[in-house]
Structures are given as C-alpha cells and as structure tokens.
Structure 1
Amino acid sequence: MAVAAMLVASPAAARPFAPEDLIQLRRIGGSSVSPDGSQLVFTLSETDLAANARRNDLWLLDLESEGAVPVRWRPTPDANEDAPAFAADGSGIYYLSDSGGSTQVWRAPLGEGEAQQVTDVDADVAGFSIAPGGGRIALWFDEDVSCEATSCADTAPPNDAGSGRTYDEIFVRHWGSWENSTQSRLVTFELADGLASGEGVVVSRPLSGNVPSRPFGGGDQIAWHPTGASLFFTLRESGPAEPTSTDLDIYRAPADGTAPPELLTADNEALDSLPTPSPDGRYLAYVAMATPGYESDRQVLQLRDLITGESRALTQAWDRSIEAIGWSADMQSLWLVAKDGLETALFRYALTEGTLERMTGTERSVGAASPLPDGTVLATMASALAPSDIYRIGADGREIPITNVNGDLLGDLDMPTRTEFAFEGADGDIVSGQFFRPPGLAEGARAPVALFVHGGPQGSFSNDWSYRWNPALMAAQGYAVVTIDFHGSTGYGQAFTDSITNDWGGKPLRDLQIGLQHVLDRNPWMDGDRICALGASYGGYMMNWIEGNWPGRFDCLVNHAGIFDLRQFYYATEELWFPEHDFGGPYFDRESAYERWNAVSHVENWRTPMLVTVGERDFRIPYPQSLGAFTALQRRNIPSRLLVFPDENHWINKPLNSLQWHREVYDWIARWTAPDSPAQERQAGTGESP
C-alpha cells in the first residue's frame, strides 16, 4: 500500500461500511520501541483473500520527526514477519519469520546488512524475549513432554499404528485442539554475536504445565529481571485438577537453568499473573485474584519486594480489574490498563501517594501500552467506530495519533453515529449501554432494530472495535443497533460482575427487557415492531433462553455457539472451572442450580425464527449444543437455518468464513425485518410477532 495513504484519508464519495470492508482492514499487532525512544517497529497484518489468510509485515516509524509516516521494513515475499523487538543496543531488530520453512527468530540490522536466522529449534517458535543487555534469548514453543533435549524432531508413528487417541485423565481437549502430549515450554539460549548458541536450557523444568498458559497466554506472562540473570513466568500445573483450577502462579528461574524455578505466589490459590519487574530490579509488580476457580474475579495490583519477599496489595480499594502493567522510567508511577465503564482506559498509579488518575478519555479504548523514557506512553487505541491505531499519550492525557493505518480504506465510508445511555435495571441498579444510528437515515424514517447480546457472560459490548461482532457494521446495513451491559458485565465493579452467578437467566434478561424498552421509548426513529436479537456464546445461550422465556418479542434470532442444554454442556466442555463457579459446583452436586436456567426445559414455548451458526472445532461450547437447538426448531416447525464451519472453533476467524457468516446473518435479519416479510405479515394479521 502507498505510505501516504496510511495517513491521509481518501476524499472519495462516502458509502456504507460493508463486510467486504471489514475483512480487508489492516490490523496492528505487536510492537517495540527502540531503547532511546526514537523509533517504533510494529506488525501490520493484511488480508490475502486468495489464501484465505492474513499476511504479516513489519513497519518502522520515526518517532522524533514530525509528520513521519511508517515504512514497510524488510518485507519478504511469501513469508510472514511478526513480534518485533529491538536489540538491547538499538542497532537491529529481532522478529519471528516463517521464511525458513518453520517459524524461527531472525535478526536484521536497521541499516545495511543481511537478515540472519537466530534460532533453529525443532519446533515453531511461538514467542521470544531478549534479555536486558542482549546476552540471552528466551523462547517458548510447543514440545512433547517426553522430549528431554531442548527440542526434538517429530517422529513418525509405527506403520501398524492406528489413529486412535487414548487418555487417562480429563482436559483431553482445549479451545480448538485435542491434547497431544505437548506443552509450551520456556527455553533460554546464550546469544553470541546476536545468534543463539549452545544447546539451550529448559528453564521451566521440572514443572509440568504450559508457559505461557493456553490458549491465550502470551509474552505478558514472561519477564526478564533487569540484570538478565533470571526471569519470571506464569504457569498453572497440569494434571487431573487443571480443568477446575485457575491457580496460575508466578515463578522465578535462573536464566542458565542452574537451579529449579522458585515459586513466588504459593500462598494464593487463585490467579497470579503479569509479572512486571521494576527498572532497578528491586520490586515485582503483578496482579492477583482472590477467588480460586473464578476466571472473572478482580485482578488487584500487587507489589513484591524481591529482597524481603514481602508482598502487598496496592489497589485493593479500587473496584476495577487490571489488565496490563508498566513502570515509568523514574519508578515513581505504574501505568495500568483497566476497563472502566464502556471504555478500557489507561491509569497512572502514583506509588508515593497511592493515588490513581485516569489518563485517557471516553472517545476510545486502550489495548497494549508501552511507557517511554520521556514519560509519555505509546498505546494502541480503538473505538466502536474505528479500528486500532497507535497513539502517544502525554503526561497531560492528550491522545495524539501517530498512525492511521486504515485511512485509505475508511476515508470513503459513511459510518454510523454512536450514543451511550443508562437506565435503572434489575434490582434498581444502573445499567449502561450504547446504540448506533445508521448513516443517512432520513428525517422521519424509521430503522429496524438489532439487539446485540454479548458473551462471557462476564464480558461487555464496550466502546471498542471487533472483527467478529461489530455493531457499527450492522448499523451500516440500515439497522438501529442496541447493546446493553447487563448484570454480569465487566467494568462496573466486581459486585456487578459477580451478580450473574447462579442467575444466568434472571437479572440479565430483565436488564435486556427494561433497557430495550428504555431506548425504544426515547428514540422514535427506531422501529421496535421490526426487531431481531443476536448473540454468541453466552449471548447465544440468551437467544435460546429468550426463545422460551420472552417469546414473541422478536421477529428473528441469531444464535452463534450458544448453550442449549446446561447438563450436556457441563459434561462436554473443557474449562470446568467456568460452570462450576457460575452454578456453585459440578452438575451432579448442583443439578437444581443448572436446571433452573436450562434453556432446553422451555422448548415448548419456542416460536421465533432462528439462524444457528457454529464452528465444528469449538470445544468450549461443542457443536452438539447448536445441533440440539436446530433440532428443536425443526421439530417444532419453526423457520430455521443451520450454518456450520468445519474449520473454525468458538470464533469465526478466516476471512472468507467471516464474509460468509456476515452475509448469512444479514440476509437472515433482512428476511424477517423487511416490511413485506412473513413476520410482518403475521403481525399485521394477528397483532403479534412470530
């Protein structure tokens, strides 16, 4: 793409945002700032529709020259570059590349000179981190637990071997893959002239578990001590108790593997993570939860004195959950990222005073954040109306954009407008939401309505961008889109998040009912007689629950990967800590708690047309849940359609699959909300929705 296009929007005539636009948008990935703060390197992915995949390249930006634009840095045809990190002396950049046939760490100078392959292990490297001073490199990759070396080449099975898999304990599959006797291990090598040397050592031994944790753990769970002599990492022990445990612990290990890892958080049986050592190496900042077995508990900032071993909670009185940590260069402050209402914001915690200050506003949300030597912070930021770009956040809170990677793609699009609202929901609590008005809606015209219900259930449809469930994209098709952060949502205090426990179909449904009517009463341009509801995961469960417990209100429903039968779900899902927390224990001990909110028990009330979509590799909510809902719909002669992706998990990620999913969903909703639709004809004849 043209460099100038990344900063200057096209003046072409505006048109509505379309699914074809969504899948073509460029996405910012990992980044690194040079030691002197003068340069930024970041990953940018672009869609390759022919390959039905995304391609990653590295881009370099001069942070000291006003008006500088990013330039593509050392692109390699038919290869992907990712996860850049500046060398300790700033002379070059390390990065991941698959140009050699497998994914390995490479290094290239900023100036003239050839790129060199740094590592050559018998596995695809998932991530790496360079030690301060540049003397060692840490890698993490999947390896068979029986491999005694640093890494081992794959061996072919015997000629007479069958294809069957055998297991002697649970956690046989996770997210989108079956257990295959591998674990993600943490390995270090010495660096000689910038290249890995020697045999390396597995510093996570003799522990058994994944470093970082699966399926979503990353480099923020691994950190070098400033001396480079040791490193910290997070691990949850494997074994038969793993599916019911959220007990991630922080360990410290010598970088050369001369001693076993030291457990630093033995006293806490809940999660400990995000190890972040201070620049002088004296302290370790990290987050900790208090409730074992609860993945959505509040993450409280902790500070450990690495000399005395004493730890203390710094944000116990602050009712927000911390998602990321960074030290200021002068060690006077900690930069924190936490969801606060509808935004994920950047906060500054003053260590001496013990005070917190929100540094970012309400226009957008913060993703990754990197403090700079000059006291500013570089952060990726996005909103519900714009995908991520990189901003520089000043000491005064000013948010200055330094990239505009989709300027040429978004410049000719007519985006909807967004409005936040609040109302008194279930139990008299204040509940927040947002709605989107379609672009170009004529004065006096009315738009059909789409109610988005988020998953989690401890989640949010926040003021942030999504490539899977995008309210702005739906609104651009001519709909009024409403989202409601019902009881159980995050960003409003831990008690509000906890309130959904043992109440899946209670307060959340009441919030949706009250909130939808609140918005319709105050916005006559919304046509509440032409309305559909959509949701995924817990949101998909809510579609099944609405079918039986709010029948007749909607013209159609869209259910992606929703729970249909809580009994069968409990015995088939993988992370058992989730249902066991939300319903108070295993199904066989808490049958009445599960059955109280079981959607399958209300099929006799179902009447609303539903589109059911699912990924066949979804092991979080396995696809028989979706088949069950579709069977119920078909046997009750309710108009319904099933869309199955054999190559997707809980999320629909591949570009062409995403395009197909959006087209199916939009066609379904248009079919039932059009003025001449069967649903509207039935309403005209009976005064009721279908």
Structure 2
Amino acid sequence: MMTIQASRFTPEVLLSAPRRSASIPNSTGELALYTVSSYSFETHAKTSQIRVLNINDGSSHLVSEDAAAGEPIWIGETEVAFIKNGDNGCSMLLSQDVYDKSTAPHMIHYFAGSISNPKVKVLSSDKVAFVCSALTTPDGDMYWPAAETKSYTSAKIYTGLFVRHWDAWNTANQNSLWYGLIVKRDDKWTLEHPGLTNLLAGTRLSSPVAPFGGTGDFDVSASGVAFVSKDPELNPARHTKTDLYYVPIKSWTEKPSTPQLVKTGRLRGYSLSPAFSSDGRQIVFARMRSEQYESDKTRLLLLPDVTDLSNVQEFYETKDGEGGWDLRPDWAVWGKDDKVLYVAAELHGRMVLWEVPASPLEATHLPQAIHEDGCVIEARILGGSTSLLISSKSRIESSSYSILNPEKRSIKEISTSSKHGKSFGLSKSQCSEIWYPGSEGYNNHALVMTPSGFDSSKKYPLAFLIHGGPQSAWTDDWSTRWNPAIFAEQGYVVVCPNPIGSTGYGQAHVDAITENWGGGPYKDLVKCFEYLEKEVKYVDTDRAVALGASYGGYMINWIQGHDLGRKFKALVCHDGVFSTQNQWATEELFFPEHDFGGTLWENRSGYEKWDPSKHTGQWATPQLVIHNELDYRLPISEGLSMFNVLQARGVPSKFVMFPDENHWVLKPENSLVWHREVLEWINKYSGISDETKLESRTGKLTV
C-alpha cells in the first residue's frame, strides 16, 4: 500500500483516509489479518479490503477487495473465513487461502439470514468450532426479512417499556448466538450437518447485547461458550444488569444444554469481556456492582473452574467492597501458559495495558503498566511466545500495529497508518497536556493539541472541546467524529479538559458528577479556562470558541446561560440537552434515574436544578445547533428547542439537521457537511476566516 502525503490535514483527508481494524495473528505468529476501508469523495463510494500483514517485515498483501466481504477470522495457519453479505438479507461464509489468488473464495455455507461477529476455536487441522450472532425471531429461527408477511400498515404498538433503542424501534426479534462445526474434506471447508444451531433457543436470553455488543460479549473454548446477556426478568430500560453464562458443549453438531448462570454475589451490574484460558477451564471477565449505573467501576473477576460456577474470585477485593485498584478494567487476555493476564484500563487520558498475575491469590501488588502510549485497542499473544501483537491508536495515528515484549518492556513498531496508508503530516510535538487546579481541591487534567508549525511566541485562538458521556473522557485516541487535529490544523490551540465525571482518574472523580451536572463540572471548566487565561501565553482566550456533543452539548447550553458563556465568541452544540426535565424521552431510563437521583416524579427538583432551559434569558453567544432525526437518546425536539430560543432572542444561530443519522454522524458525505458547517461557524467568529482570506490574498497560504 503506497503512502500518500497529505499537504494539509482537512476533513476530506480525515474522512477519506484508510481505516484499519485491529490485527489478528495466526497460530504461528507470523501473519496478521486485518481489514481496511476508505471512502472516495470523487466517486462517492466506499472500498474495503481484507489484507494480511507479514509480522516479520511489515509488508502486507491483498486477500480480498470485495466490498461486501468482511469480518475475517483464521481457521488455519494460512486459511481464513469471512462473511459476505448477499441480497435479500442473506449472507455467506466463505474460505480462502491467503496465498492462493488463482481461485475464487470457496463457499462454506449460505444462510437465509444475516450472520455477523464470527469467532472460532480451532480443534484440529480439519475441524473448527464456529460461533456467530444473528438476529433471531421469537420462535428461535434466524430472522430473514424476505420471509416476513407483508404488512399494509406502519403502526407500531407497545404495551411495555423500551419501545426503541439508540436509533431503531424495538421488535420481537433479538440477537442470538449460533454455533456449528466447520470441517475440511477433500481440501474444502464445509459446515457440518445440521448447520448452525441456536445456542439460546427457548431461554429468553439475548447476546451480543444491543446496540453495541459484538465479539467481546462472548468467547469460545473447545468445550463451551461463555456469553453475557441482559437479565430477562428485569426491564432493560431501567436496569443495566447483564449476567455471564456458560454453556458446556459436548458436540458442536448437537443441541446445547441449558446456559448456566455464573454467580457473582453482590456484583449485579454490567458483565463484560469474558475470555477463556487456553485450556478452556478458566474464564476472566469484568463486572460492575450497581444494576442501575452504566459507569460504575468494573471489577476484574476470575472463574477458576467452569465446572463450579459459584466460585468466582475478585482481583484486589477489599472488605468495604470498593476494591483496591481504583481503575476500570475494560478487557483482559491470557498470557503464555495462562500464568499472567494483560488487562486494558484507562488512566489519565490513555488506554493503558497492565500486567496482572492470573490468580487473584497471587495478585498481592497493584498491576504494573507495560504499555502507556496512546490507546491500546486490542492485544493478542503471538504464537507460542510471550510477546503480544498490539493494535493501538493515538491523536496522530489512526492505526498502529506493534510487538510488545512484556518482560523487557520493549516495543517494536511493525506498521502504522502513516507508513502504510495516508500520512497526515501530524507529529508528536503537537501533543501535550496540562494539569490545572480543579474545583474540588485537586488538579484536573486536559489534553492539548497545537497546530503544525506551532510557534510558542505567538498567540492562537482557543478551541475548547467538552466531552460527552458524561462519564467518559478525552483520550489520546483517533476519531473521525471529534478529532482534535482537525481543529488544530485550522489554526487553534485545542484544549480537551477532563473535569468531574471523567473516567481514568479514579471512581470518585467519576461519581462526583451524579446529581451535580451543572455544578462541579462547570466549575472545573471555568478553572481550566482561567488557567489558560493566566498561565498559557500562546492561547488567545479573547478569540475562544467552545464545542460539545451529548453531555458536552448539555454543557454548551449550561455555559450559554452562565458567565463562562460570555467568554466565548461562538458555541457549537451537537445532539445536546435543552432541558433535563425532558430526560424521560430517552430510551435507557436507568441513566436519568441514576444521574438525577430518582424518577422525575420522585425528585423533580433534582432535574430542575441543573436544567439549562431555566437560564435561556441569558443566552447571547452565537451558537450552531446540530441535531439528528434518528437520535433516540436525545430526541430532535431538544435541538429544535435550542434553535427556537436562540432565534426568538435574536442570537446569531444556525440549525443543521441530518434525517438519516443517529446520536453520531457516520455517513462520510454527511460527516463532511458536519465538519464544514462546524469549521465555518467557529472560524467566522474566532477571526480565523479573516486571517485565511488575508493569507490567501498575500500568497502565504499553502493548501
């Protein structure tokens, strides 16, 4: 793949650049499988490839460039299987040798339905246990749209909670896991009779957990499947509880036994990321304590023996139940010989990889960080070695593959997006961070990004980015939606603060935002702005703009009605909250119940206290409002209300709506419009547009 140097990092460059998946090594650790996709604004079309990386020399070669093919997995040392979506909601499972380009991919099986999230366990050179997910009917059949009886009405009728989720109206169909045995006969792979079997038929369980669940919600061993599912006895609109289940499987061609619940005592919240040890006898996973709080602290747990599901051990357990490690493990992988675990947990704006003994009894000291650069997306053991293949991202690299030696703490870069794709012209010198006095007596953290060609003796207008969540954080990561470099390359110093409510700074910092939406977080943002005013000489706070989405959009509206709002030349609110008293129009009701201290009728004062709409009489700063029709988390009436108030008050404002986007803007053409509207708005009010015109007339601007 030829490296292309961008003359300037623009939205077009960001959105058209190749996007690579995490890489998956084969059994020998010599090859790694990944996908790459890109979008052309000239042809208005997306292209996608399946490629194989040579880990020894960093070279790669093409396996498939079928736009309908994806989700590749290894089924042999040089053989892969992948899914191809067909017509009428059908799909195919295909196989191919990564070195054989003389023949077309071989069809393993054709499905009347759409399968996804494939995962395998190689049993022998000619047998592979295969598990995938598919939308499934209440009768337990794979859902096939073509088999539906035609309806002459569009009515949707509900008698219970949870009528829609994220961007879709709920139906009786649910995700289910399906399994089967792939065998090799006469040098061809085929799906053994009876094909795929529904693992969850008749159980009322569903996995992966919608809307974002994938292969991380289940794992496969030679003799069983572990998966997480919502508790069918609790309404998912008001509860976060997901349990871990184990299903022993004697034969991959026979009907399964009943899923068995893994008991975790007082821990009753989200369960996530189950992973079998190499022998299939142990499972490591994570779980939260509260069943109505999506941002509770996760605890790292071990099931030492799948034959005893009541014996679950917690790493760093304490008598008070708070846990001795004040970070939030996200996922874990087993090291060589199952002696050690490598655990991903966020710390200070980075997704760090940590080393932990594989037994809680041996974990007497807190974990050691073994990889702290950027954000680790995945880690995989390389063959039979102790080394790890790391897939990561950062603010300047959309994708990086490297080999980590945990014993030596050494890292060897294999392939980066800038070497095997499009070079963005960005450098580490543009990335820094600050710690500033927070409102609670301890320092808060913010990531900073400066323009390329930055000169500290000059002043640059401030782009103040406020993250969503609110229990989330700005991290040293890559994004095609909120990318700090896009704003920096316009000529801003970009500051991304992580105030109260942000993850990666201990659970108390996260929990402090509860029933405090416009309190501590707002004060922390004020403190950050004041610190920039007084201490950072190259930031021009007189030409500052602020932008935020979701909770960040809420905070834009809160700022608009308070003193900090007058410090900014312009504001941008994407899919934000106009009134906290409208929070019961959302779909996941456990969220407002937790964050506002109960239901609307039990604690209306808690909702009223932090309502931005109560302060609309002070709204005066020019504001761009963006809201999407398919956003069921924050319905479009929130955006319309903001715009109507701004217009009625005579405040310069603009409303941008995407009828085919949800809480995010994902379609490349729409995203390009989003970026152009946002940049045009802030550049106009910060004065950057005037500078650009002047430089263009004097011939100093290079595009």
1:480-527, Cα deviation, whole Å (9 max, x unpaired)? 111110011000111111110010011101111111221232222211
Aligned-pair distance for 1:246? Answer: 0.9
User: What SS does structure 2 have at the residue aligned with 1:402?
Assistant: strand
- Structure-2 change in CA distance of 1:130 and 1:319 (3 Å): same
Contact 1:31 1:84 in 2 (8 A): no
Contact 2:354 2:371 in 1 (8 A): no
Structure 1 residues 278-427: aligned runs within 5 Å: 278-306=277-305, 307-309=307-309, 310-315=311-316, 316-351=323-358, 353-354=362-363, 355-372=365-382, 373-395=384-406, 396-407=408-419, 410-411=422-423, 413=425, 417-427=430-440
- Structure-2 change in CA distance of 1:48 and 1:207 (3 Å): farther
Deviates more, 1:388-397 or 1:658-667: 388-397
Structure 1 residues 94-113: aligned runs within 5 Å: 94-98=81-85, 102-112=90-100, 113=103
1:139 matched to 2:132? The reply is yes
Contact 1:573 1:620 in 2 (8 A): yes
1:93 matched to 2:80? The reply is yes
Aligned-pair distance for 1:153? Answer: 5.7
AA of the residue aligned to 1:459 = S
**RMSD of equivalent CA atoms:** 2.2
Match of 2:223 in 1: 229
Match of 1:516 in 2: 529
Structure 1 residues 539-578: aligned runs within 5 Å: 539-550=552-563, 551-568=565-582, 570-578=583-591
User: What SS does structure 1 have at the residue aligned with 2:412?
Assistant: strand
Q: Which one of the candidate residues 196, 204, 214 is aligned to 2:210?
A: 214
Number of residue-to-residue matches in the alignment: 659
Contact 1:248 1:270 in 2 (8 A): yes
- Structure-2 change in CA distance of 1:111 and 1:418 (3 Å): closer
User: What SS does structure 2 have at the residue aligned with 1:47?
Assistant: strand
AA of the residue aligned to 1:35 = S
- Structure-2 change in CA distance of 1:464 and 1:199 (3 Å): closer
- Structure-2 change in CA distance of 1:151 and 1:565 (3 Å): closer
1:268-317, Cα deviation, whole Å (9 max, x unpaired)? 42122211111122221111111121111111110112234311111431
Aligned-pair distance for 1:441? Answer: 4.2
Aligned-pair distance for 1:229? Answer: 2.6
1:424-450, Cα deviation, whole Å (9 max, x unpaired)? 201202210122222234564321111
1:21 matched to 2:13? The reply is yes
AA of the residue aligned to 1:388 = S
Contact 2:396 2:426 in 1 (8 A): no
Aligned-pair distance for 1:206? Answer: 2.1
1:124 matched to 2:114? The reply is yes
Q: Which one of the candidate residues 189, 194, 201 is aligned to 2:180?
A: 189
Following the alignment from structure 2 to structure 1, what is the Cα–Cα distance between the partners of residues 674 and 177? Answer: 38
Aligned-pair distance for 1:405? Answer: 3.1
Aligned-pair distance for 1:668? Answer: 0.4
Structure 1 residues 129-278: aligned runs within 5 Å: 129-133=119-123, 134-145=127-138, 147-150=139-142, 152=144, 154-158=146-150, 161-193=152-184, 194-197=189-192, 198-225=194-221, 228-238=222-232, 241-255=235-249, 256-265=254-263, 267=265, 268-278=267-277
- Structure-2 change in CA distance of 1:201 and 1:500 (3 Å): same
Following the alignment from structure 2 to structure 1, what is the Cα–Cα distance between the partners of residues 513 and 553? Answer: 16
- In structure 1, the gaps of 5 or more residues are 678-690
AA of the residue aligned to 1:124 = S
Deviates more, 1:249-258 or 1:533-542: 249-258
Following the alignment from structure 2 to structure 1, what is the Cα–Cα distance between the partners of residues 167 and 585? Answer: 13
1:453-475, Cα deviation, whole Å (9 max, x unpaired)? 00000111111111111111101
Aligned-pair distance for 1:534? Answer: 0.3
AA of the residue aligned to 2:246 = R
- Structure-2 change in CA distance of 1:379 and 1:676 (3 Å): closer
Match of 1:71 in 2: 61
Aligned-pair distance for 1:98? Answer: 2.4
AA of the residue aligned to 1:314 = F
1:83 matched to 2:82? The reply is no
1:618-666, Cα deviation, whole Å (9 max, x unpaired)? 1111111111111111111111000001110000111111111111011
User: What SS does structure 1 have at the residue aligned with 2:300?
Assistant: strand
Deviates more, 1:395-404 or 1:451-460: 395-404
User: What SS does structure 1 have at the residue aligned with 2:24?
Assistant: strand
AA of the residue aligned to 2:287 = A
Aligned-pair distance for 1:97? Answer: 1.9
Q: TM-score, normalised by structure 1?
A: 0.91
Aligned-pair distance for 1:328? Answer: 0.7
User: What SS does structure 1 have at the residue aligned with 2:147?
Assistant: coil
- Structure-2 change in CA distance of 1:455 and 1:149 (3 Å): closer
Q: TM-score, normalised by structure 2?
A: 0.89
Structure 1 residues 570-589: aligned runs within 5 Å: 570-589=583-602
- Structure-2 change in CA distance of 1:465 and 1:421 (3 Å): same
Contact 1:132 1:224 in 2 (8 A): no
Contact 1:150 1:200 in 2 (8 A): no
Deviates more, 1:407-416 or 1:173-182: 407-416
- Structure-2 change in CA distance of 1:85 and 1:410 (3 Å): closer
- Structure-2 change in CA distance of 1:563 and 1:219 (3 Å): same
Aligned-pair distance for 1:266? Answer: 6.3
Contact 2:584 2:592 in 1 (8 A): no
- Structure-2 change in CA distance of 1:222 and 1:364 (3 Å): same
Following the alignment from structure 1 to structure 2, what is the Cα–Cα distance between the partners of residues 19 and 675? Answer: 17
AA of the residue aligned to 1:213 = V
Following the alignment from structure 1 to structure 2, what is the Cα–Cα distance between the partners of residues 555 and 91? Answer: 57
Structure 1 residues 367-516: aligned runs within 5 Å: 367-372=377-382, 373-395=384-406, 396-407=408-419, 410-411=422-423, 413=425, 417-442=430-455, 444-516=457-529
Contact 2:463 2:544 in 1 (8 A): yes
